[in-house]
Homo-oligomer: A and B are copies of this chain.
Amino acid sequence: MSIIRQDPTTREWVIIAAERMRRPHEYNHPDETRLRAVANGPCPFCPGHEASTPEEVFRLPDSSGTGWAVRVTSNKFPALGDGGGLERRETGPLFREMDGVGTHEVIIETPAHDRTLAIMTDHEVADILTAYQARYRALRKDPRLKYIMIFKNHGEAAGTSLAHPHSQLVATPVPPMLLRRKYDVAVAHYDDTGRCLYRDIADEERQAKSRVVLETDRFLVFHPFASRVAFETWIMPKRHQPSFGQVSEEDLHELAPVLRRTLRALYDRLDDPDFNYIIHSAPIEDENKAYYLWHIQILPRLSTIAGFELGSGIFISTMLPEQSASVIREHHQASVDGAST
Contact B299 A310 (CB under 8 A): yes
CB-CB nearest in chain B for A183: B9
Residue of B nearest to A77 (CB): B318
Q: Contact check, B302 vs A15: say whether CB atoms are below 8 A apart.
A: no
Using Cβ atoms and an 8 Å threshold, which residues of chain B touch A94?
197, 200-201, 204, 225
In the complex, how many angstroms separate the beta carbon of A252 from the nearest chain B beta carbon?
A: 20
**Chain A count of residues within 8 A CB distance of the other chain:** 92
A277 to B308, CA, bound (A): 9
Given contacts A15-B315, A316-B20, contact A304 B31 (CB under 8 A): yes
Contact yes or no, A317 B14, CB < 8 A: yes
The answer to whether B168 and A307 touch across the interface, beta carbons within 8 angstroms, is yes
Closest chain B residue, CB of each to CB of A211 = B95
Contact A10 B182 (CB under 8 A): yes
- Choose the segment among A129-137, A156-164, A212-220 that binds chain B (4+ C-beta atoms closer than 8 Å): A156-164
CB distance A302 to B225 under 8 Å?
no
A280 partner residues in chain B, CB cutoff 8 A: 311
In the complex, chain B residues whose CB is within 8 Å of the CB of A304: 31, 156-159
- A186-211 to B contact mask, C-beta < 8 Å, 1/0: 10000000000110110010011000
A108 contacts partner chain B, Cβ-Cβ < 8 Å: no
CB under 8 Å from chain B, chain A span 280-301: 280, 297, 299
Once bound together, how far apart are the Cα atoms of A316 and B299, in whole Å? 19
Instruction: Tell me whether B5 and A307 are in contact (CB under 8 A).
Output: no
Report Cα–Cα, A305/B276, bound state, in Å. 10
A26, A179, A186, A307: most-surrounded residue (chain B CB, <10 A): A307
**Assembly CA distance A5 to B321 (angstroms):** 11
> Is A249 engaged at the interface, CB distance under 8 Å to the other chain?
no
Nearest-Cβ distance from residue A259 to partner chain B, whole angstroms: 15
Measured in the bound complex, the distance between the Cα atoms of B168 and A91 in whole Å is 37
- Chain B residues, CB < 8 A from A110: none
Please name all residues of chain B whose beta carbon is closer than 8 Å to the beta carbon of A303 when the two chains form the complex: 29-31, 159
Q: Which positions in A face B, CB cutoff 8 Å? A: 5-18, 20-21, 26-31, 79, 91-95, 147, 149, 151-153, 156-160, 168, 170, 172, 176-179, 181-182, 185-186, 197-198, 200-201, 204, 207-208, 224-228, 230-231, 270-271, 273, 276-278, 280, 297, 299, 302-308, 310-320, 323-324
12 new A-B contacts at CB < 8 Å, known A16-B320, A18-B320, A172-B312: A5-B226, A8-B225, A12-B226, A12-B313, A13-B314, A14-B228, A16-B319, A30-B230, A79-B308, A91-B225, A159-B303, A160-B306
9 residue pairs of the A-B complex, CB under 8 angstroms, read A8-B201, A14-B227, A15-B317, A26-B318, A28-B273, A29-B302, A147-B312, A159-B303, A176-B312
